[in-house]
Amino acid sequence: MTWGDSFPALLVAVVCLLGPGLIVTAPFRFGTLARTAVSGLVGMCVVASAATIFGAFGLAFAWWQVLIVTAVGLALALAVRPAVPRLEPRADRRVLLLLGMWLLSALAIAIVMFWRVPIPDRIAQTQDNVFHLSATGAILSGHSASPFAIGGLIDTTGAFTYSPSGWHSFAALVAQTTGVPVAVAFNVLFLATIAVVWLPGIAWLARTVVPTWAAATIALPLGASFGWYPYGLLTGGALYPSALAHALLPAAVGIVLVAARAVLGDRGRVSRARRWTAAVVGVALAGGALAAADPRAIATLFVIVAPFVFWRLIIVLRQAHEAAPGELRRARYTLWGSVSAAAVVIAAGLIFGNAAMPLTGRPGDTTDLVAQSPWQSLTQVVMAQSQTGVNGVVTIVAPPLALAVIGGVFMALRRAATRWVVISYLVLALLYVLAAGDVGPVSSMIAALWLGDPYRLAAALAIVGVPLATIGIVALGRLIVPARRAFGAGAAIVTAVIVGVTSTGTLAATGVSEAAGAVFRQPVQASDRAIVSSAQMTFMRHQVSAVVPENQRVLGDPWDGAALTGVFAGREPVFPHLRGRWDDARLTLAYSLPSIDESSEVCAALDELRVRHVLYTPGSFGGGDPDSDLYLGVHAAVDAGLFTEVATDDESSLYRIDQCGDLG
């Protein structure tokens, strides 16, 4: 399949991402840009609700469930429409210019990211992607897409789990409705996410921060200019759920800003009840969408919007000094309540983050997490450089973009209404410096909510960096043509295009495109630099699927590609990820399989898991599990000649287990 052949699937991905949201928000008086941005959040909530509700009844995830929830959402929207004020007080202007800039920006991102990826059915050869592929394959095979069930694939102990399934649900929708392979669904979904979720969201956020008609148009090429996002989360580990969440974050930030202005400011004829109702619904929508995509993005949302909210609270407190004593008392209670709530949120976040990752831990992926000095990390922030995640490569300095951000910082500090943006940017920069440096208890504790991963924090920097650069470029345009505001806006747009062209060219030429090519490089034969090879995929599609019955699982070491039998052979793997919390039956097979002739526990475990075949490929990704010898029992049993070979391509082999008899 060529990239051109995948275009219909790309259109379907766009419909899946925006369709439910556009339908649900139809009754509301939103501008075009705001409606598009908010529709991504609504669509995420609709799909997650469908997966959760119908999954609770044991139903396999399907497109018709999304239609039902969309219809319910539309009915609710019609019911609450009178309470929701217009989201944008002025109509969108120069829509054709905005559309043209959007198309060019989306095309630029696609070229930079996938220029070195020749066909769309390549997979990202990273540790994290093993689970994402397995989870999507499981959903397509009938497994629940609920976030309360998808984690059960890698925690088979029966413990309560919550694992965000938004990305996997969308990918399954694309694969179900188009018939394309999971790999193609992933790649077109990523492009669609950037094109119709990230770019409209960041443009709307820029307009919300910089209330000029040109701000959205300026922000679009800037949204393609930072190596931190959207590129870094793909080349730095294929963190698809996090990439989806960060695409949603600009719209989430924009909603919180609008909500805070509504309830902590004067909105004229709009009643307090309407303002609070709309604000609560908006914040719940933002939080729900991020929780469904990647709950850790909620921490990023908090870091970005907290300075703005506290600034608005201080304004309310100052205004209350001139009002009645009751207003002053109420304002003080609100301020102290907000401070207390923020302290609780921060403490809970630190506890949750450090429970998920020990103080000395690192995220479990295969990317090059470059341990660098604070000065190196700070230089990358100031000069708009980004780690690519491959071979320690860092992109070179992008002077126009860096100057735009620096200029935006100085201009934002001149106005009280935009100083909060600088504070958010500095806090995120500090977190990035801590996460990208040498691992230590303090830095790990502070950055634990992001798993100490610099790529996640760098992506957050881009969300604030685009509005800052927009502020700087708007100011430059007014400086170039001070007498005519329209001409100044035109000069600013031209400047933004220049920044976008130079920045994307720099990214493509100095590491991002090459890094993407390396991440998606698919060897013909098994390699320790790849999760699975072309030969292994072919063997699973033709041999494993033909020999192993549909109701049986396949045993194998996940580090040598056996984790992906569900994706390529339609047969559930015993170990669908490289790591997990496995039940006793799986641990018995991992450790004790060589003692199958002496121990009845092995046959009992094989019967319980319905296993009679072992898939084996010599060699392991990255040399195998670096933390333990968990799966060495599988290798030892095969090497001892305990099983009967039933298929081979001289590299991969499929063995039948005869010692335990037939499965009933």
Give the model confidence (pLDDT) of 277-307 as tens digits. Answer: 777 888 889 999 999 999 889 989 999 999 9
Whether residue 307 is found in the same domain as residue 386 = yes
Residue 555 β-bridge partners? 614
Whether residue 130 is found in the same domain as residue 241 = yes
Q: Span 617-629, mean pLDDT?
A: 64
Question: Which residue reads 């619904």 in tokens?
Answer: 281
Give the per-residue pLDDT at 239.
87
Whether residue 447 is found in the same domain as residue 581 = no
The SS3 of residue 149 is coil
Give the per-residue pLDDT at 485.
67
Distance, C-alpha 174 to centroid of its chain: 17
Provide the token pair at 73: 């959402």
Task: Assess whether the previous peptide bond of 221 is cis (omega < 30° from 0).
Answer: no
Give the per-residue pLDDT at 463.
97
From residue 13, give the alpha-carbon distance in Å to each of 36, 141, 188, 192: 15, 20, 7, 6
From residue 364, give the alpha-carbon distance in Å to each of 15, 149, 451, 634: 33, 22, 9, 23
Residue 333's CB is within 10 A of a number of other CB atoms, namely: 10
In a domain, 596, yes or no: yes
In a domain, 443, yes or no: yes
Considering the chain, what percentage of its residues have pLDDT values greater than 70? 85
Whether residue 511 is found in the same domain as residue 558 = no
Whether residue 369 is found in the same domain as residue 497 = yes
Higher pLDDT, 186 or 236: 186
Q: Span 612-640, mean pLDDT?
A: 79
Give the per-residue pLDDT at 367.
43
Of 109-123, 207-221, 333-347, 520-534, the poorest mean pLDDT is in: 333-347
What is the Cα–Cα distance from 449 to 390, expressed in whole angstroms? 24
Q: Span 136-146, mean pLDDT?
A: 94
For residue 366, what pLDDT band results from cuts at 50, 70 and 90?
very low
CB 131 within 8 A of CB 526: no
Give the per-residue pLDDT at 269.
61
CB 69 within 8 A of CB 50: yes
Give the per-residue pLDDT at 360.
32
- Among candidate residues 517, 552, 570, the one where a domain is terminated: 517
For residue 91, what pLDDT band results from cuts at 50, 70 and 90?
low
User: Is a pLDDT exceeding 70 seen at residue 329?
Assistant: no
Q: Span 344-362, mean pLDDT?
A: 47
The total number of structural domains that make up the chain: 2
Q: What pTM value is reported for the model? A: 0.92
Whether residue 498 is found in the same domain as residue 596 = no
In a domain, 621, yes or no: yes
Q: Are strands 553-555 and 611-616 parallel, antiparallel or unpaired?
A: parallel
Considering the chain, what percentage of its residues have pLDDT values greater than 90? 61
Whether residue 438 is found in the same domain as residue 369 = yes
Whether residue 512 is found in the same domain as residue 547 = no
Helices (H), ranges, 25-62: 32-56
CB 47 within 8 A of CB 173: yes
- Among candidate residues 517, 546, 579, the one where a domain is terminated: 517
Whether residue 545 is found in the same domain as residue 470 = no
Amino acid 444 reads S
Whether residue 433 is found in the same domain as residue 310 = yes
For residue 341, what pLDDT band results from cuts at 50, 70 and 90?
low
Provide the token pair at 530: 């790849």
From residue 340, give the alpha-carbon distance in Å to each of 250, 337, 345, 346, 382: 26, 5, 9, 10, 33
In a domain, 523, yes or no: no
DSSP 245: H
Q: Span 15-19, mean pLDDT?
A: 97
H/E run at residue 17: helix 7-24
Q: Span 182-204, mean pLDDT?
A: 97
In a domain, 527, yes or no: no
Whether residue 400 is found in the same domain as residue 292 = yes
For 348, the domain range is 7-517
- Among candidate residues 492, 517, 542, the one where a domain is terminated: 517
Higher pLDDT, 339 or 5: 5
Question: Which residue reads 């082999």 in tokens?
Answer: 653
Higher pLDDT, 247 or 561: 247
Q: What is the mean pLDDT of the chain?
A: 87
User: Is a pLDDT exceeding 70 seen at residue 343?
Assistant: no
CB 523 within 8 A of CB 617: no
Give the per-residue pLDDT at 565.
95
Provide the token pair at 522: 């698919």
Q: Span 569-581, mean pLDDT?
A: 93
Give the per-residue pLDDT at 483.
59
User: Is a pLDDT exceeding 50 seen at residue 356?
Assistant: no
pLDDT tens-place string over residues 95-108 = 889 999 999 999 99
Judge residue 159's burial from the number of C-beta atoms within 10 Å of its C-beta, 0-12 exposed, 13-18 middle, 19 or more buried: exposed
Give the per-residue pLDDT at 56.
93
What is the Cα–Cα distance from 300 to 409, expressed in whole angstroms? 20
What is the Cα–Cα distance from 282 to 297, expressed in whole angstroms? 16
In a domain, 23, yes or no: yes
Whether residue 38 is found in the same domain as residue 93 = yes
User: Is a pLDDT exceeding 70 seen at residue 40?
Assistant: yes
User: Is a pLDDT exceeding 60 seen at residue 370?
Assistant: no
Give the per-residue pLDDT at 358.
37
For residue 312, what pLDDT band results from cuts at 50, 70 and 90?
confident
The length of the chain, given as a count of residues: 664
In a domain, 210, yes or no: yes
User: Is a pLDDT exceeding 80 seen at residue 112?
Assistant: yes
DSSP 520: T
Q: Span 504-532, mean pLDDT?
A: 87
What is the Cα–Cα distance from 218 to 497, expressed in whole angstroms? 8
What is the Cα–Cα distance from 581 to 153, expressed in whole angstroms? 9
In a domain, 526, yes or no: no
Helices (H), ranges, 83-126: 95-114
